[in-house]
Amino acid sequence: MTDALELPRVHSGKVRELYDAGEGRLLMVASDRVSAFDVIMAEPIADKGRVLTAMTWFWSEEMADVVPGCFLTANPTEIEAALGGMALPAGWAGRATLVRRAEMLHLECIVRGYLAGQAYEEYEKSGTVHGMAMPAGLLLASKLDEPMFTPSTKATEGHDINIDFAAAVDLVGAEAALQARDLCLELYTRAAARCAAAGFVLADTKFELGYVDQVLNLCDEVCTPDSSRLWPADQVVPGTTPPAFDKQPLRDWLAALPWDRTPPPPPLPAEVTTAMSERYVAAYERVSGRSLSDWYGAGP
């Protein structure tokens, strides 16, 4: 991915670059980078940035009647026109989205329908999830009685910290926390039903919300394999790790190595990056019913 755009870069995240596109807009560009345990791996995952962008676009359209989205266009021709005829660098078509710049809510709005990941680790230790008491007897990949809003802090450095609802209220105020909770539970329920129809369990997902003109908007990425756990529904057996279509296989592969989770990361063999790329593309295509080859830009 070249980086020759004449726009000031305002942020470089683990996966995305943000550029100031003027008039209250940002150009958000999803790279092929992958992070695990908050460390960016050295090897890119082919097609990942296009999958994240296509999938976010798909979901933002699906959810438009529930919440406004900050997403303006991912069409490269429209982006170039909106930037006054500025040409997008080679390779950016399909991974660049023009968005409204939002005042981000300082919360990671996680919703969980199943017990997995850090929530499962916490439950095993203390019987709680984000500090909230849970029924006894739950297993890894157990379905929860009701989807739970389990926010975390949005750390600018280091790891996000899982918090309960009261702590979210302390962070962003009662009104914003309640609105975020209600919106995200509705978004999760909507997305989980759509995934179920495609044969997937959306075990959990993380939304990011931000204010545009004082209204909460859906921002960042939406129900992608980076921000969600996505399991093939027919292979979910409580007590076992489902063969996920998300980052989990990479985390599991890394967890089996003697690595202390600080940079530099271990080199990823080609079979790991290839399998991951194939799973990301499959997740998009099966969930959306669309082909990645119909999305903007070209594969590697």
Ligand X SMILES: Nc1ncnc2c1ncn2[C@@H]1O[C@H](COP(=O)(O)OP(=O)(O)OP(=O)(O)O)[C@@H](O)[C@H]1O
Q: Name which of 146 and 157 has its Cβ closer to ligand X.
A: 157
Could you say which residues in the range 124-183 bind ligand X, by CB under 6 A?
156
Q: Name which of 13 and 89 has its Cβ closer to ligand X.
A: 13
- Per CB under 6 A, the list member of 5, 18, 115, 222 interacting with ligand X is 18
The Cα 113–Cα 110 span in angstroms is 10
Interface with ligand X (CB under 6 A), residue total: 19
Stretch that binds ligand X, among 10-18, 135-143, 274-282, 289-297 (CB under 6 A): 10-18
Where does residue 220 rank: exposed (0-12), middle (13-18), buried (19+ CB within 10 A)? Answer: buried
Q: What is the DSSP letter of 69?
A: B
| CA 158 to mean position of chain CA atoms | 18
* Structure tokens, 111: 């919703």
Residue 72 C-beta: closest distance to ligand X, Å: 10
Contacts of residue 237, defined as CB under 8 A and 6 or more positions apart, other chains included, come to 141
Could you say which residues in the range 196-215 bind ligand X, by CB under 6 A?
208, 210
Stretch that binds ligand X, among 6-14, 130-138, 145-153, 283-291 (CB under 6 A): 6-14
**C-beta nearest to ligand X: residue:** 13
Q: Name which of 17 and 47 has its Cβ closer to ligand X.
A: 17
Q: What are phi and psi of 53, to 5 degrees?
A: -70, -45
Give DSSP secondary structure letters for 107-166: SBEEEEEE--HHHHHHHHHHSEETTEE--TT--TTPEEEEEEE--B---SSS---B--HH
Strands lying side by side in the sheet with 9-12? 9-12, 16-22, 25-30, 96-100, 71-73
Could you say which residues in the range 62-101 bind ligand X, by CB under 6 A?
70, 99-101
Instruction: Please tell me whether residue 14 binds ligand X under the rule CB under 6 A.
Output: yes
Stretch that binds ligand X, among 9-17, 59-67, 74-82, 145-153 (CB under 6 A): 9-17
Residue 31 C-beta: closest distance to ligand X, Å: 8
- Rg (C-alpha) for the chain, rounded Å, is 19
| Chain residues that interact with ligand X, rule: CB under 6 A | 11, 13-16, 18, 26, 28, 70, 99-102, 104, 156, 208, 210, 219-220
